[in-house]
A and B are shown apart, each in its own frame.
Chain A
Amino acid sequence: MKNKIMDMSTLDKRLLKELDDYINSLDGDKQEHLILVLHKAQELFGYLPQNLQLYVARKLNLSSARVNGVVTFYSFFNEEPVGKYRISVCMGTACFVKGADKVLERVQDLLKIQKDRISEDGLFTINDVRCIGACGLAPVLTVNDKVYGKVKPNDVDDIIRYYRGLENENS
């Protein structure tokens, strides 16, 4: 009954050590800190592959179903690899009535991928997220931690051009 979910050898040892140190540093009942641990794991690995979820489950002595339940409940957590730039389009009520769906559509068209997918060059991932609490700026789009407010579909071109430009500068 060996399957790849149980194969932990593909996980970076150095990052696992960092995750272990983080878990060991937590006070009290470690099971209570599942969400914090998942945050840390995603920060380290970029996303939460199934074998990493199982690793966390065993480390915290929780069932893997429980861990997978939490991971799949919150849209913040990714089970698939994510691009260097994570574009999140807010689909909360305020953003939605201000045309967030058009913004999302434009992002998908420009990057030629659907939401929850990674672009061919590995640079971008698109998510739709629920209210991020910036309703005054609706519609809102974020790229990693940077917030863009009152976005019109045409603005998306400039935003993506900017990040592509950053990459070209780096290379």
Chain B
Amino acid sequence: MKLIDKMIQCSINNINVTVEKGTTILEAAKKVGIHIPTLCHLNLADFGVVNQNANCRVCVVENEKTHRLVPSCAEEVVDGMRIQTDSLKAVMGRRTNLELLLSNHPQDCLTCVKSLDCELQSLAHELNIKEIHYQGEKMNHPIDLTSFGITKDTNKCIMCRRCVTMCNDIQTVGVLSPLKRGFDSVVATAFHLDLAQTSCTYCGQCVSVCPTGALAEMNDSPKVWRALNNPRKHVIAQVAPAVRAAIGEEFGYDAGTILTGKVVSGLKRLGFDEIYDTNFGADLTIIEEATELVDRIQNNKTLPMLTSCCPAWVQFIEHQFPELLDVPSSCKSPQQMVGVLTKTYYAEKNNVDPKDIVMVSVMPCVAKKAEAAREELNKDGLSDVDYVVTTRELAKMLKEAAIDFKKLPDTNFDILLGESTGAAAIFGTTGGVIEAATRTAYEMITGKELKEVNFKQMRGIEGIREAKVKIDDLELNIGIAHGLGNARKLLEDIRDGKSDFHAIEIMACPGGCIGGGGQPYHRGDIEILKKRQKALYDLDKNMPKRKSHENEMVMKLYEDYLGSPGSHRAHELLHTSYSEKQRI
């Protein structure tokens, strides 16, 4: 078909628009700068999915010929169509539909976790709702607070199904589904099980797309405040790589502004005793992981080796592919490595009782909360990490403390576990961990200096990527996947014996940690993710050292405390194990 045959004409608010067949009214209107309010609609086209099931009916517009209201997000333009987006009928239709949604919605906006981040609230403001004319029965469901990561308040659910699309189509975890019908219908887990009893990975992507407060991260800031207020406690913070590239968005900075120094100052002001860098743990992870990879390659052990930094991905393989539990690296994640070192290495050096140390991580991630609670991840009964707050939670704590973030000076991390290289900086983006590991593995295998550290073939935002790296005689095959649906494809290949990768990096969230479930809401805007990603690569580029094994404080840690990479002591502190979990 020629392009001309595929083009059709319509008029929106008397403006003529020519669009390709298959274009929705919403897209056509956007083309000529006409705004139509939407709620359930979520365009994640870059991740291969669009949520456009026309559930909420907030985007209705009037078809001039039929005088009918049609949902603009799902209705496709037909040739000669005439649409009014601002006719009285359209305006009133949208208002009525929104009021009906609000009539079955709790009115506790003042104290709601999503207040000012809530799309329903913004829409009520935008549509100038001052009174809700409908009074009727309201949902009354218990709130699920059973998991360490995610809270689910079904009463705030508007059945937009964005979370269902995310959980099923993008992540293929399949924990959430619409149940029942009519007024009784809810988005819920199978059999209304507690989230903690399901195969939820706590990736938090449902939270990042939920327009209301129905899905949110477990709020751990009160526990952190309590620790900070307890003079007996030695409270230590660590900050993950992706946090510094995104937290600024909560304070009016452009996406991708690196604000490490301000975050450290802010944490000091909040009263933390020491501020360490999860990037230190990332460098350490790389050394342990590269050692493991080289051992697996040279001694014909299980291949491919999969990275294990992402806790949602670890949950995923435990629930969904229990037969493959020997493929992930046994390395703990950087957060856990820093955590355990504060309670051992740091505690010994500074003569602090590990029981009095409270380790708080600032993470872009909801699953890190569940990871910190894993039983395996403790030393002598003390959890490696005590509390995890997300990027969003830290921003709220700083605001709560009336700290003027923009005016904060830049401060460096504390020394003991604070140094990091460029290799660690890129841990926060898809492709970054495996690039960092390759830099170190190359020098470990060849004993020669790696001149070109940029492995551009590993970078990008496509869901599944492959790269080949020549290391002397060995051609290293690398796979990269982000988003659990993409990870599933690579895992199925491994299970079926069709995979020829040596190493695979998996991150559960689209984009990697920069798009984590605890980050400022990006609402499916991939440009924000690209800016955060670029910021991390720029950070790497400008670092004096760009290979993890050049981190002097990490090397000192081996000399003073751990022995050599992969040593018995290193295994005891820095490695973990995985176990089969039920799929439900």
Contact = CB atoms under 8 A, between A and B. Distances in A.
B584 A69 contact: no
A63 B581 contact: no
Interface in B160-193: 168, 173-181, 188-191, 193
B197 interface: yes
Given A50-B191, A67-B190, A1 B581 contact: yes
Contacts of A3: 197
B583 interface: yes
A64 B191 CA distance: 9
Contacts of B175: 63, 65
B66 interface: no
Interface in A59-81: 62-69, 72-73
B193 A66 contact: no
B270 to A, nearest CB: 36
B584 A66 contact: no
Interface in A13-41: none
Contacts of B190: 50, 53-54, 57, 63-65, 67-68
Contacts of B181: 72-73
Interface string B303-315: 0000000000000
A58 interface: yes
B168 A68 contact: no
B542 interface: no
A69 B583 contact: no
A63 B177 contact: yes
B298 interface: no
B14 interface: no
Given A1-B197, A5-B191, A5-B193, A66 B582 contact: no
Contacts of B189: 65
A103 B168 CA distance: 42
Nearest to B581: A1
A147 interface: no
- The size bracket of the interface on B is 20 to 34
A69 B197 contact: no
Given A5-B191, A65-B174, A54 B179 contact: no
Contacts of B168: 63, 66
A58 B191 CA distance: 15
Given A3-B197, A50-B191, A68 B584 contact: no
B177 A66 contact: yes
A64 B584 contact: yes
Which of A1, A62, A72 has the most chain B CB within a 10 Å cutoff? Answer: A72
Nearest to A70: B177
Q: Is the interface of A mostly helix, strand, loop or mixed?
A: helix
Contacts of A66: 168, 174, 177
A3 B176 CA distance: 19
Contacts of B180: 72-73
A97 interface: no
Contacts of A73: 178-181
B330 to A, nearest CB: 23
Contacts of A72: 179-181
Contact of A54 (B177, B581, B584): B584
Contact of A1 (B173, B174, B582): B582
Contact of A68 (B173, B179, B197, B582): B179
Nearest to A51: B191
Nearest to A71: B179
A2 B584 CA distance: 11
B581 A68 contact: no
Given A1-B581, A6-B582, A6-B584, A69 B193 contact: no
A96 to B, nearest CB: 15
A63 B193 CA distance: 13
A74 B287 CA distance: 55
B582 A65 contact: no
A53 B168 CA distance: 18
A69 B177 CA distance: 6
A69 B191 contact: no
A65 B177 contact: yes
A143 B312 CA distance: 50
Given A65-B177, A72-B180, A58 B583 contact: yes
Contacts of A64: 174, 190-191, 584
Interface in B188-204: 188-191, 193, 197-198
Nearest to A73: B181
B583 A68 contact: no
Which of A3, A53, A62, A69 has the most chain B CB within a 10 Å cutoff? Answer: A69
Given A3-B197, A53-B190, A65 B176 contact: yes
Given A5-B191, A5-B193, A69 B174 contact: no
A102 B31 CA distance: 57
A103 B415 CA distance: 80
B152 to A, nearest CB: 13
B191 to A, nearest CB: 5
Contacts of A65: 174-177, 179, 188-190, 198
A76 to B, nearest CB: 12
B174 A63 contact: yes
Given A1-B197, A50-B191, A69 B582 contact: no
Contacts of A6: 582, 584
Interface in B50-81: none
B581 A69 contact: no
Interface of B: 168, 173-181, 188-191, 193, 197-198, 581-584
Question: Can you list the 9 inter-chain pairs with the closest CB atoms, starting with the nearest?
Answer: A63-B174, A65-B177, A64-B190, A69-B177, A65-B190, A68-B190, A72-B180, A72-B179, A50-B191
Given A1-B582, A57-B190, 15 more contacts: A50-B190, A53-B190, A53-B191, A54-B190, A63-B168, A66-B168, A66-B174, A66-B177, A67-B190, A68-B179, A68-B190, A69-B177, A69-B178, A69-B179, A73-B180
26 contacts: A1-B581, A1-B582, A6-B584, A50-B190, A50-B191, A53-B190, A58-B583, A62-B174, A63-B173, A63-B174, A63-B175, A63-B177, A64-B191, A65-B175, A65-B176, A65-B177, A65-B188, A65-B190, A65-B198, A66-B174, A67-B190, A68-B190, A69-B177, A69-B178, A69-B179, A73-B178
Interface of A: 1-3, 5-6, 50, 53-54, 57-58, 62-69, 72-73
